[in-house]
């Protein structure tokens, strides 16, 4: 059985809502405790001043490799610049590693046979985002951002399979359309397939829109008192084991961990 997990890291914010290299390392240390074969992470910074100009995916890969075994890791940028304001970011067009960016990451202890990316356009909506307690204001209205899906064809002991991660729009109608687009694109990659991520959709909607099987039915948000399942592991041609959730540092989402095997 292959053990996989998805986690929205909130770029490693601490309980005060601040970002730093130290807060990201604390999150990475907690993530290493999941002891998984594949880790999908959303809300990841790369070289952004707000989080100490570090490559968060690279730091996480080093922490995970503490067992002495190198991990395959990849970051996919959704936007270049700092999200939150239309004047501080622009849609990412490619994988320029020198560009300060924000997006998603996939990491695995097994060899990757192929990587692929899909870029998803934003809606025109401005959406409310609740700020951490202690912030000068409780709610911030932000423009919807472009999104990205990142896939890895993993040469796992259970057999090759495609693992996809994404973080979909806050706007439910746009997230539903994006999910359908991701599923269509995923079917161009080798099966079986697993989709992990913060889909910003409840389980029933995610299952209906994707046509894939939910491997878990458990609330993941907000982390302090979960009431909604926004984080999902959806399977196409896999057999799931029992799911578990974990609080990782000060993220506002719980991490979701599931074992999967290939369906016979």
Residues 33-69: pLDDT tens digits?
Answer: 999 999 999 999 999 999 999 999 999 999 999 867 7
Residue with tokens 């959303």: 42
For the chain, residues with pLDDT lower than 50 are none
Task: Answer whether the bond into residue 222 is a cis peptide, omega within 30°.
Answer: yes
Tell me the CA distances in angstroms from 201 to 56, 78, 121, 156, 219, one per residue in order: 26, 19, 17, 29, 12
Q: Which fold has domain 2-262?
A: Deoxyribonuclease I; Chain A (3.60.10)
Tell me the CA distances in angstroms from 221 to 69, 110, 246, one per residue in order: 32, 30, 11
> Which pLDDT value is given to residue 142?
77
The tens digit of pLDDT for each residue in 63-97 reads 999 867 789 999 999 999 999 887 899 999 876 77
Residue 150 host element (H or E): strand 147-156
> Which pLDDT value is given to residue 97?
78
Instruction: Kindly tell me the burial class for residue 256, based on how many C-beta atoms sit within 10 Å of its own C-beta (0-12, 13-18, 19 or more).
Output: buried
Distance CA 218, CA 232 (A): 9
Q: CB within 8 A of 248, min separation 6: which ones?
A: 7, 9, 27, 30, 31, 34, 254, 255
> Which pLDDT value is given to residue 136?
58
> Which pLDDT value is given to residue 160?
95
Q: CB within 8 A of 262, min separation 6: which ones?
A: 158, 159, 161, 192, 237, 238, 239
Q: CB within 8 A of 105, min separation 6: which ones?
A: 40, 41, 44, 56, 57, 60, 73, 74, 75, 76, 150, 165
**Helix, strand, coil share of the chain (percent; to 5):** 20, 40, 40
> Which pLDDT value is given to residue 132?
57
Tell me the CA distances in angstroms from 76 to 18, 87, 153, 187, 204, one per residue in order: 23, 21, 15, 19, 27
> Which pLDDT value is given to residue 138?
64
Distance CA 53, CA 64 (A): 20
> Which pLDDT value is given to residue 133?
58
> Which pLDDT value is given to residue 51?
96
The pair of three-digit structure tokens given for residue 145, joined into one six-digit string: 């951002």
How many C-beta neighbours within 10 Å does residue 258 have?
25
For residue 47, what is the DSSP state?
Answer: S
Tell me the CA distances in angstroms from 190 to 28, 151, 155, 242, one per residue in order: 30, 11, 11, 25
Residue 25 host element (H or E): helix 21-32
Query: What's the full length of the chain, in residues?
Result: 264
Within its chain, how far is the Cα of 43 from the centroid? 7
> Which pLDDT value is given to residue 71?
95
Q: Is the pTM of this model over 0.85?
A: yes
Give me the half-sphere count of Cα atoms (radius 13 Å) on the Cβ side of residue 189: 28
The maximal CA–CA distance of the chain, rounded, in angstroms, is: 54
- Sketch the domain layout of the chain as residue ranges: 2-262
């Amino acid at each position: 059985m292959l053990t996989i997990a998805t986690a929205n890291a909130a770029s490693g914010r601490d309980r005060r809502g601040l970002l730093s290299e130290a807060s990201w390392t604390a999150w990475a240390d907690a993530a290493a405790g999941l002891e998984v074969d594949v880790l999908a992470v959303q809300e990841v910074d790369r070289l952004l001043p707000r989080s100490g100009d570090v490559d968060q995916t690279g730091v996480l890969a080093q922490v995970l490799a503490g067992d002495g075994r190198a991990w395959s890791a990849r970051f996919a940028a959704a936007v270049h610049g700092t999200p939150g304001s239309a004047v501080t970011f622009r849609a990412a067009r490619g994988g320029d590693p020198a560009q300060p960016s924000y997006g998603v990451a996939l990491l695995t202890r097994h060899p990757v046979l192929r990587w692929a990316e899909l870029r998803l356009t934003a809606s025109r909506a401005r959406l409310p985002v609740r700020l951490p307690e202690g912030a000068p204001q409780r709610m911030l209205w932000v423009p919807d951002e472009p999104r990205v899906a990142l896939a890895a064809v993993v040469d796992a002991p259970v057999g090759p399979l495609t693992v996809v991660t994404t973080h979909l729009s806050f706007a439910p109608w746009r997230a539903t359309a994006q999910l359908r687009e991701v599923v269509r694109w995923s079917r161009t990659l080798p099966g079986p397939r697993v989709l992990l991520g913060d889909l910003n959709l409840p389980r029933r909607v995610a299952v209906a829109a994707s046509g894939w099987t939910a491997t878990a039915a458990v609330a993941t948000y907000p982390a302090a008192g979960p009431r909604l399942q926004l984080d999902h592991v959806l399977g196409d041609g896999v057999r799931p084991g029992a799911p578990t959730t974990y609080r990782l540092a000060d993220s506002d989402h719980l991490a979701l961990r599931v074992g999967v095997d290939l369906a016979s």
